[in-house]
Amino acid sequence: MQHLDVQVAEQALSWLQAGDTIWYCTVLSTFGSSPREPGSVMVAKADGQHLGSLSGGCVEEDFLSRLQQGEFSERVRCERYGDARDPQRPQISLPCGGILEVLIERLEPTPSHQRHLCELVSILKGQQPMLRQISLQDGHCQFSPVTDNGGDRVQVSRAQVSVRIGPARRLILAGLSSVSRICAGFAVTLGYEVIVCEPREEEYQSFDLPGVRLETLMPSAYISKDGNCHAQTAVIAATHDPRIDDLAMIEAVKTGAFYIGVMGSRKTSDNRAARLMRSGGLSPEQVERIHMPIGLALGSKTPAEIALAIMADVLRVQRGIDRHDL
């Protein structure tokens, strides 16, 4: 899940608590090329205020225009965009030439809907994935445990939509450096919740990274705290300071983080591996979890190129793609 999903859910809850009716929209499926993947969400009010996105902009414009004209009064409705063969559908051609199907839920500010959105926010901020199930007959929505580790994020039957949710993707950067600062910017754009752990005052006193949270403590202390590292977390150390990088790695391998990496040359990485086993008490299996040297072999030289190689490798692992398949 993207961190944007959390922001959309929090905004939806805030509007409900303020007494507003909201329209909560979820991309159900895409055919051909599409700018957003199934499970992407957007929330809107009747006056056109909204957060999140469903496409590159054309779908949002049509939906918001029709919403302000009084459409979408049903509790639940499916809308298909980009299908020129069906005259009953909105005649919008997506720039990418794809087809998009969207679930539109009209949620009034009732106590039950507020409780549901509050639980949604908690799941997105938690550690365990759940299924959000929506009835296509009456719009009743509920959560149920995920019973498998695979499958599509969205599943649609004649009677029900099931959306796999939570937790949101997170990137923990162990310390500030020229490379990690650029990684942070890339990660925010990619939809990660980005947290920088930097205990050195001389490094964080000029901290100015929009959309990034700063924690002024040792990365190892933050990583080791229960709940801060989950299965959708990547941990990157790029300071060249072993007091920060090594301790972060020692704690990160004890978590369920899907990506753990530390910057350094091949020689530095080999020395670090030996040091982590000798002094850090890590097993060969734990050391094997660490991507070092970090990033894809793109021939990177500058901080921006190195950061690009790192975030590309994080995305590769996130998508489950083997290096040899690139």
pLDDT tens column, 241-254: 999 999 999 999 99
Residue 1 confidence (pLDDT) above 90: no
DSSP SS3 for 37: coil
Q: How far apart are CA 173 and CA 272, in angstroms?
A: 18
**Segment 45-88, tens digit of pLDDT:** 999 999 998 886 778 888 999 999 999 999 999 998 876 655 55
Q: Which residue has the higher pLDDT, 200 or 325?
A: 200
Residue type, 324: H
Do residue 142 and residue 178 come from a single domain?
Answer: no
72 three-class SS: coil
Q: Find the domain containing 35 and state its range.
A: 3-165
In this structure, the answer to whether residues 156 and 13 fall within a common structural domain is yes
Q: pLDDT for 204-218, tens place per residue?
A: 998 999 999 999 999
Asked whether the beta carbons of 186 and 173 are under 8 A apart, the reply is no
Question: Which of 165, 194, 228 is where one domain is finished?
Answer: 165
Q: Which helix (H) or strand (E) holds 45?
A: strand 41-45
98 near 31, Cβ under 8 Å? yes
Q: Is the pLDDT of residue 93 over 70?
A: no
Residue 37: the pLDDT is 83
- Same domain membership, residue 296 and residue 183: yes
Residues 197 and 289 in one domain: yes
Last residue of a domain, one of 116, 133, 165: 165
Contacts of 288 by beta carbon, 8 Å cutoff, 6+ apart: none
Q: Are residues 136 and 197 in the same domain?
A: no
Look up the pTM and report it: 0.77
Q: Tell me, yes or no, whether 264 and 213 share the same domain.
A: yes
Looking at the 3D structure of the chain, how many domains does it have?
A: 2
**Domain final position from 148, 165, 182:** 165
Q: pLDDT tens digits, residue range 176-203?
A: 999 999 999 999 999 899 999 999 999 9
Q: Are residues 239 and 316 in the same domain?
A: yes
Mean pLDDT of 126-142: 92
Query: Are 121 and 215 found together in one domain?
Result: no
